[in-house]
Structure 1
Amino acid sequence: MDKIDHLIFISPLSAIQEADKKLLEDAGIRRAVVAINGPLPELAPHIDTLHLDIHDDENEDILELLPRTLDWIDQGINSNSPTLLLCHAGVSRSATVATAHLMRKYSLSLEDALVRVRRCRPIADPNPNFKHQLKIFQLAGWSVSDSNPLVRRYRLLQKAKSIAGDGHGTRSDIDNKEGLLHLYQQKQQKKISRTTAVRCKQCRMKLAGYDDIVMYIPSSPFYVESLEWMNLVGGEVSGKLYCPNDKCKNKVGTYDWTGVKDSSLNEYVVPAIMLHQNKSEVYQIGAAVNNPLSLLRPGV
């Protein structure tokens, strides 16, 4: 059992199960975060337990669990109760929670927080999927909010994986393409302002606002998020998008949850929800601002 920070410890589950459970009581452990898939193992009766039913693999979503988990850990710290972080080996899942705790508590980057965890537990090594989510957590300001475009982009990709994995495609199709998508600012030949919106060329109804735009390159379609008017809830992997104006219904774009290869970027955009420039147009362009999506390269 290794001490990571004030009142925070980490251990493999096997070491705790093999040891005399009285040792936990003697060490003052009153709370435990158990990050394993399947049934919750039996610990000492005096231990208050938070169970994270997650696998240690490339498809698991741990980002959504972080706010509730970290708040629960903070409650223990505020009550001066030591908390033990557990997973099968004490290497990936519990190390991810420990790293996220240090990141939020001390406003650290993923890299700096992981260095601190490894000083206390050298074998700590979150899997690449968890590291990617921790990087999003960092760039989103150590929170998971719908108002943050990075978080929304992550959720959109998770939705794409879910739809493509439901008999229409394979997760590997998306995973392979995801690593090719570089959202660097220099890739965007023209920056956009917060007053930017996209509208239908035929009836001029607004189709998407600044926060809905994932990427804008003048020679490519407008890549946007999944919006309510698109009604993309049927699980179809690809299809056409029509203007929501009942008097117009002009075809304004297409979508493909498994992604398309953009000829301008020579890279895949996943998922690809596109408003085509011959059917839609930008309006209300103002002063250029940096798009925070440019800070993150999926696969980091």
Structure 2
Amino acid sequence: MAFDRIAGKEDLYVGGIFALRKPELLEERNITSVLSVIKYSFDGWGERANRFNHLSIDVDDVDDQDLLVYLSSAVRFIDQGLYPPRDGPNETAEPKSSDPTGAVYVHCAMGKSRSVTCVVAYLLYKYPHRFGGKQFSHSATSTTQRRETANAAVIQALTLVREARSIAEPNPGFMRQLELWWEMGCPADDDRAVENHPIYQKWLYESKLKEARDLGMAPDADWIRFEDEAESSEDQPKHEASAEKQLRCKKCRRTLANSQFVVGHQGTGKTENPASPCPHIFVDTLSWMRPALEDGALDGRLICPNAKCNAIVGRFAWQGFKCSCGEWVCPAFSLNRSRVDEADVRPGGMGIRMPPGRSGSL
């Protein structure tokens, strides 16, 4: 069949572009909204085009295509099509009914990957309780819960779509983006909800890093994300320990990082034994590293930010490197354990912990 109806109370259909060759098929099913997850125009439909609300999202079906950024607008369009305001789409219209009164057709070229991704995103947004979740609160705990349940939730929602359309199969890149969509809590308050989300911004940054690595280049200086400068969010996990660890330059005692920015790793080599810890302490990209990273070098030394010290405290490699304990870390920002001191510091005052850079320590 050209298109298929997803099981449920809504008239939500998914399929390929061929169904649009026979508009009467859409009219027979009272479809009033069409989401094209492909470049498509109704210009050749004449007066008939006025019967449909239409949104076109021009994306390719490739693993590295960013469809995630469009999911907020896609989901909002689907929801507004299924639950239109009683008096039409305007600011003075009556609130929409709790029962679906519209019908929506979501399509791409074949009805297999792009369109299915948007339908799965809608199901995860509309019915989280069906897929092992609920309407999560904005907290570190709920972020962790969403991350842990993301894969299972996406698979369950895709299984529901496959019951109607057996060829449904988003590409691996879209599957990963659906997991991030769930992890973010399926944000659809406005069309830019994903774009403004910290989890999306970090994923986009990591995608840029991979692109640069594939080209054998360092990332553009304007794209480098310094974690201590990144805007904090309640959605991001934070350490709950009563004491935090600080890493300080052994020569001048300047604080270089705290436990919030330490990147954990587990090796398989000889130094995996706790009695002989790995000589590398990997950390996030931090603002005091800016002078070393802005030159565009693929690798180099990390220098203590204290101008009166300038001791070599570690090294970096955008392409990554294999540490002594056997793990490949990429990108790698390593503080040499022999050149830093580790100190346990209890939060002062009212238990408020300031990240490095906010308290003048970096």
TM-score scaled by structure 1?
0.70
Paired residue type of 1:131 = M
Structure 1 CA distance for aligned equivalents of residues 165 and 256 of structure 2: 50
Corresponding residue SS for 2:338 = coil
1:86 and 1:15, CA in 2 relative to 1: closer, same or farther beyond 3 A?
A: same
Counting only pairs closer than 5 Å after superposition, residues 177-256 of structure 1 correspond to structure 2 as 193=241, 195-216=244-265, 218-219=277-278, 221-231=280-290, 232=293, 235-256=296-317
Residue in structure 2 matched with residue 28 of structure 1 by the alignment: 30
Q: How far did 1:153 drift?
A: 5.6
Paired residue type of 2:19 = A
1:72 and 1:225, CA in 2 relative to 1: closer, same or farther beyond 3 A?
A: farther
Structure 1: runs of 5+ lacking an equivalent: 170-190, 287-300
1:213 and 1:99, CA in 2 relative to 1: closer, same or farther beyond 3 A?
A: farther
Structure 2 CA distance for aligned equivalents of residues 71 and 234 of structure 1: 43
1:62 and 1:140, CA in 2 relative to 1: closer, same or farther beyond 3 A?
A: same
Contact preservation (8 Å) 1:237, 1:257:
yes
Residue in structure 2 matched with residue 11 of structure 1 by the alignment: 15
Structure 2: runs of 5+ lacking an equivalent: 85-100, 132-152, 188-193, 219-238, 267-276, 347-362
1:244 and 1:125, CA in 2 relative to 1: closer, same or farther beyond 3 A?
A: same
The count of residues paired between Structure 1 and Structure 2 equals: 259
Among 336, 346, 349, the alignment partner of 1:276 is 336
Among 76, 82, 86, the alignment partner of 2:103 is 82
Higher relative contact order (CA 8 A, sep 6+): 1
Residue in structure 1 matched with residue 169 of structure 2 by the alignment: 125
Residues 111-154 of structure 1, C-alpha deviations (whole Å, 9 max, x = no match)? 11111111111110111222223233334444557555xx5663
Contact preservation (8 Å) 2:17, 2:110:
yes
Structure 2 CA distance for aligned equivalents of residues 198 and 146 of structure 1: 30
Corresponding residue SS for 1:69 = helix
Structure 2 CA distance for aligned equivalents of residues 246 and 22 of structure 1: 74
Paired residue type of 2:286 = L
Structure 1 CA distance for aligned equivalents of residues 78 and 126 of structure 2: 11
232-241 vs 127-136, which deviates more?
232-241
Q: How far did 1:110 drift?
A: 1.2
Residues 29-88 of structure 1, C-alpha deviations (whole Å, 9 max, x = no match)? 33333223xx43436533333333322222222333333432343333442543322211
The answer to whether residue 53 in structure 2 is matched with residue 48 in structure 1 is: yes
Q: How far did 1:269 drift?
A: 2.4
Residue in structure 1 matched with residue 64 of structure 2 by the alignment: 59
Q: How far did 1:161 drift?
A: 1.4
Q: CA RMSD in A?
A: 3.4
